[in-house]
Amino acid sequence: MSETTAAQYDWDLFVIGAGSGGVRAARTAAATGARVAVAEDRYLGGTCVNVGCVPKKLYSYAAHFHDAFEDAGGFGWQLAEAPRFDWATLRDNKVGEIKRLNGIYGRLLEGAGVRLINGRARVIDAHTVEVAGERHSASKILVAVGGWPFVPEFPGSELALTSNEVFDLAHFPERFLVLGGGYIAVEFASIFNGLGSDTHLIYRGELFLRGFDQQVREFTRDQMAAKGVNLHFETNVERIERVEAGLAVTLTSGEVLEVDAVLAATGRRPHLEGLGLDALGIELTESGHLRVNERFESSLPSILALGDVTGGPELTPVALAEAMHLVAHHFSETPTAPLDYRNIATAVFCHPNIGTVGLSEEQARAQCGAIRVYATEFRPMKHTLSGSQERCLMKLIVDDASDVVVGAHMVGEEAGEVIQGIAIAVRAGLTKADFDATVGIHPTGAEEFVTLRTPTRR
């Protein structure tokens, strides 16, 4: 960036949104010598830290203790009295941890020399932002405002909670209903079921987790049902009414369920309201996300965007990777290749967990033609003594012609932890022969990934 250009503006980069992507972009750009400011109107760390991955994983840990207490008996542990769950302790300890993380984000920005401005920013033109009554000029403006929960309209929809509120309920819902079929829906159904709620999941489709491997979806359905989650497919919520004992939820099937809380986990939409981008005519995709090129430039090149607002994979590590690439494109002298979105691993923290990387069996059949599928389903060694009937699924999908492993999937305890390592192998393009030549770690469940020898189907 030339000295003339730098002198022309107050900032080299003005970031709107202090979530994972925005903070990483701000810090990384500042490290190149750029003058950077960040505007945030809600909380540091964005969705992930405050109302997403972090509290969700903490609550998932809490919910797993339910099974752990039951499993302990088979190993000789006797509890003096029945375990009792206290919602307020979990909720308030979570609040303390998030405040700690908020402070870390603030110190990271301060340490990088980034100015933090509190307030909702509005883009005035290609190089001007207004926030808290003050106007700032910037060579480049980065929109990193993420998504916001979407609730469909139906009678009583205002009585439903979203993921923004569900972590901080004043009272624990003994009867809990989740509307939706994505990963947020199945995670919260598992969490509240594990914490002790009588839990229902309502989904209009025939099976949740659309887009995931079909065998994984079916196996997860069966395991969740076995743990006591009441699954209602091919039905929807017609209306919610407040009644003396809580909420009466009428389904399109005609069934009426009385519950204490309803969570609408029905998707998220870009949080663009009030940003002023519509007045600038910035192009959107059909889904309402900001359309960007491989340099993360919108149709107005000085306006950049990354993360959930652009419609890519709604994953924190993706936003972080995008931030690094964006800075390399715009604040580095060294050219960089576009970000490769293939083979991004992900986990779903339902119970049991799902971990997945690469292609599903259905995608592989469409893209590769001839494939080999290696799958195993078993009762983990731990449960030979615990008495639990929980089972584990592991699955490799191999392109038959090249022998390359194009997909790996797991449903079972700590699936995310296991798949992270497998993801490196899949990302590197290793073959089934490479997996076979790897000596397993015994006794572990993970060793099954390197001992699968006979194809289940072709």
The catalytic residue positions are 442
Write the burial class of residue 198 (CB in 10 Å: 0-12 exposed, 13-18 middle, 19+ buried).
Answer: middle
Instruction: Give the whole-angstrom CA distance, residue 434 versus residue 427.
Output: 13
Calculate ∠ Cα 196-200-203, nearest 5°. 145
What count of Cα atoms within 13 Å lies in the side-chain half-sphere of residue 294?
7
Among the listed residues 428, 435, 434, 432, the one whose alpha carbon sits nearest the alpha carbon of residue 401:
432
Instruction: Give the whole-angstrom CA distance, residue 93 versus residue 143.
Output: 32
